[in-house]
């Protein structure tokens, strides 16, 4: 193999490795954050105690806290990769919780039918919004903002502006799957409820769907260039509609899991859920403009944002500081991703220039 060929092969390997580890930037920031918290805890205790932040009991607590937002973040990733956004998921989750709790405690439909009714209502409402978004040129931001306000009104009308209390009918969704297991560090009981497992299963299915199926590739195509996707034979309108239907399904599932934790259907149950999920997805590297993102990056964003809130609580910092920390992390992570993208483009340009020089050098040697 000639030197130019070796050089080109080396450049191709470097390029493929860089593309392969596209989540490396946010993962590095996450790892640095964990290291800083561990060091702070070691210093504050004089190194006499194991850092509680990385103890098994705390890791399990983080999983419980991020499971529901993580479920919604999976579908939000699909929506944003397709070029859309959904601001209504928080109020829709509150509406689902009220529908399910009313079905169980007041309408006496039974647990199964009430859950199905709540999930179905979320799918229907998201389908309506998705239909409007996919059939018009109105920005998804505006439609979903209107949806958020409408869902709040429907929820308040159904509940008469009151909370709907249940009697533990959904406790089977919060039972401990690790009965008898204890943290070897603290001795406390480890709790892993079913909704944590549901979260990982949904994340796995979502990742496989986006990465290895024709449907996933079409979502990326629609988000990257809708016109080119249309000319390639993709039904752009129905693709956009489908991701909102998936969003409704996962919001319904997540809201039911959240309701099981507090046993009360209330309008504030999903408050702030849309901010958290969008932040998780954006931190994970999904572009607001569409066409870029993956479930692995979203999972990193989910655990990162959940770890921030957990670490702030362990350090006994006030809630105001937590909001500040979350905001700064979103800004830093997105900025770092943009800088990384610019560096990637610069390296790509340099590679192309190197290839051009190699070809030119080869041509001159051949001519001589």
pLDDT tens digits for range 279-306: 999 999 898 889 999 999 999 999 999 9
Query: Would you say residue 337 has pLDDT above 70?
Result: no
Decide if pLDDT at 363 tops 80: no
On whether residue 80 sits in a domain, the answer given is yes
Q: What is the pLDDT of residues 34-53, one digit of tens each?
A: 999 999 888 887 777 888 89
Tell me what percent of the residues of the chain surpass a pLDDT of 90: 65
In-domain check, residue 3: no
Q: What is the mean pLDDT of residues 222-245?
A: 96
Structure tokens of 230? 């249309």
Confidence grade of residue 205 (pLDDT, cut at 50, 70, 90):
very high
Q: Which residue has the higher pLDDT, 326 or 140?
A: 140
368 vs 360: CA distance, rounded Å:
12
Q: Can you give the pLDDT at residue 233?
A: 95
pLDDT of residue 21: 58
Q: 111 versus 22: which is more confidently predicted?
A: 111
Share of the chain above pLDDT 70, in %: 92
The pLDDT of residue 140 is 95
In a domain, 69, yes or no: yes
| Tally of structural domains, the chain | 1
Confirm whether 367 is domain-assigned. Answer: no
Predicted confidence (pLDDT) at residue 153 exceeds the cutoff of 60: yes
Supply the pLDDT for residue 86: 96
The yes-or-no verdict on residue 166 having pLDDT over 70 is yes
- Identify the domain containing residue 65 by its residue range: 25-43+53-357
318: domain CATH number is 1.10.3470
In a domain, 14, yes or no: no
pLDDT band (50, 70, 90) for residue 329: confident
Out of 39-48, 73-82, 152-161, least confident range:
39-48
Is 314's pLDDT higher than 90? Answer: no
- Domain presence at residue 9: no
Q: What whole-number distance in Å separates Cα of residue 298 and Cα of residue 78?
A: 10
Q: Is residue 267 part of a domain?
A: yes
pLDDT band for 78, please (50, 70, 90 cuts): very high
Is residue 97 one of the residues assigned to a domain?
yes
């Amino acid at each position: 193999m000639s030197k130019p060929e070796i050089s080109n092969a080396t450049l191709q390997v470097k390029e493929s490795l860089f593309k392969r580890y596209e989540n490396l930037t946010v993962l590095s920031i996450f790892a640095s954050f964990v290291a800083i918290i561990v060091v702070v805890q070691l210093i504050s205790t004089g190194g006499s105690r194991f850092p509680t932040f990385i103890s098994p009991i705390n890791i399990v607590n983080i999983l419980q806290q991020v499971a529901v937002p993580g479920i919604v973040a999976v579908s939000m990733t699909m929506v944003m990769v397709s070029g859309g956004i959904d601001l209504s998921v928080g109020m829709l989750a509150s509406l689902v919780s009220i529908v399910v709790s009313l079905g169980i405690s007041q309408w006496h439909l039974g647990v199964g039918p009430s859950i199905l009714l709540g999930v179905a209502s979320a799918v229907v409402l998201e389908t309506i919004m998705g239909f409007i978004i996919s059939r018009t040129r109105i920005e998804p931001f505006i439609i979903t903002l209107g949806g958020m306000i409408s869902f709040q009104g429907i929820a308040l009308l159904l509940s008469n502006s009151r909370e709907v209390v249940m009697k533990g009918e959904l406790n089977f969704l919060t039972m401990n799957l690790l009965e008898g297991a204890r943290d070897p560090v603290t001795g406390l009981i480890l709790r892993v409820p079913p909704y944590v497992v549901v979260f990982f299963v949904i994340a796995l299915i979502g990742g496989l769907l986006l990465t290895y199926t024709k449907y996933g590739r079409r979502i990326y195509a629609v988000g990257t260039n809708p016109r080119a996707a249309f000319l390639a034979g993709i039904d752009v309108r129905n693709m956009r509609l489908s991701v909102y239907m998936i969003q409704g399904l996962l919001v319904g599932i997540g809201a039911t899991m959240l309701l099981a934790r507090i046993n009360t259907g209330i309008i504030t149950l999903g408050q702030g859920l849309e901010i958290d999920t969008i932040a998780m997805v954006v931190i994970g590297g999904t572009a607001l403009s569409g066409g870029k993102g993956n479930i692995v990056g979203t999972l990193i964003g989910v655990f990162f944002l959940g770890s921030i809130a957990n670490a702030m609580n362990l350090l006994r910092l006030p809630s105001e500081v937590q909001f500040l920390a979350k905001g700064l992390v979103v800004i830093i992570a997105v900025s770092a991703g943009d800088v990384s993208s610019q560096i990637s483009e610069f390296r790509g340009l340099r590679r192309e220039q190197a290839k051009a020089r190699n070809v030119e050098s080869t041509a001159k040697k051949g001519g001589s």
